A = this chain, B = another copy of it.
Amino acid sequence: MDAETPVRRRRTRIQTEKRELILDAALDVFSQHGFRGATIDQIAEAAGMSKPNLLYYFRSKEAMFTTLIERLLQTWLAPLRELDDIGDPIGELRSYIRRKLEMARDYPRESRLFANEILQGAPRIQHLIEGELKPLVDEKAALIKGWMKAGKIARTDPWHLIFSIWATTQHYADFDIQVRTVLGPDRGGDGRFEDAARYLEQLFLEGLRPKG
């Protein structure tokens, strides 16, 4: 039944707490070194416990990873789920971009872990991309297409529009080192996310052609 915990029936308070502790440490290590680059010993040390103790709460390294990434995907897709037909389309897209950028700022580990998995060809989550992500994107693409037909936003490809929002926002988490290095000590500080937010808003709404 339960493939992750050694306990069949019910989950102890300690088990719940320790599992969360381990998952947090595992997120640290996995996001920094990838699945193969991470070792159970590293995760154990980050969690402040012994290796066999980790394997008491998770049956394998793989189990930690899948538990982590399945949970992660949900929070990662939440902003897209909230995209709906209530407000005005431009405002909806603007706040979606803003929320995705905030997630890149506040949850860079999650973004990197996801990026790492996709980079390697998504060997462990391909079924989730097909079964969850694709249907959601198709649904939202249809919504966006409706906005285009109604003349609310410019006509273009909704799928690639979503890709470009993902790419530009997650770039600030996944390529953080490069961004900060290129921006330098002064411009690469905490303010870089506000700069990015301002820039992206202009890019997506106005483009680069001069107004004159």
Binding site for B on A (CB under 8 A): 32-37, 90, 93, 112, 115-116, 118-122, 126, 129-130, 133-134, 137-138, 151-154, 156-157, 159-161, 163-164, 166-168, 170-172, 174-175, 177-179, 181-184, 187, 195-196, 198-200, 202-212
- Contact (Cβ within 8 A) B209 A205: yes
Report the separation of the CA atoms of residues A112 and B177 in the bound assembly, to the nearest whole angstrom: 16
What are 20 residue pairs bridging A and B, where the CB atoms are less than 8 Å apart in the complex? Answer: A34-B36, A34-B37, A35-B37, A90-B208, A115-B119, A116-B116, A118-B177, A121-B177, A129-B178, A151-B210, A151-B212, A154-B208, A154-B211, A156-B202, A156-B203, A156-B208, A157-B195, A160-B199, A164-B171, A164-B203
Chain B residues within an 8 Å CB radius of A203: 156, 161, 164, 203-204, 207
Chain B residues within an 8 Å CB radius of A151: 210, 212
Give the nearest-CB partner of A174 in chain B: B119
Report the separation of the CA atoms of residues A160 and B33 in the bound assembly, to the nearest whole angstrom: 27
Q: What's the least CB distance linking A193 to chain B, in Å?
A: 11
Nearest first, the 8 closest Cβ-Cβ pairs linking A and B are A207-B207, A167-B171, A36-B37, A160-B199, A167-B167, A206-B207, A157-B199, A167-B168
Give the nearest-CB partner of A167 in chain B: B171
Q: What's the least CB distance linking A4 to chain B, in Å?
A: 24
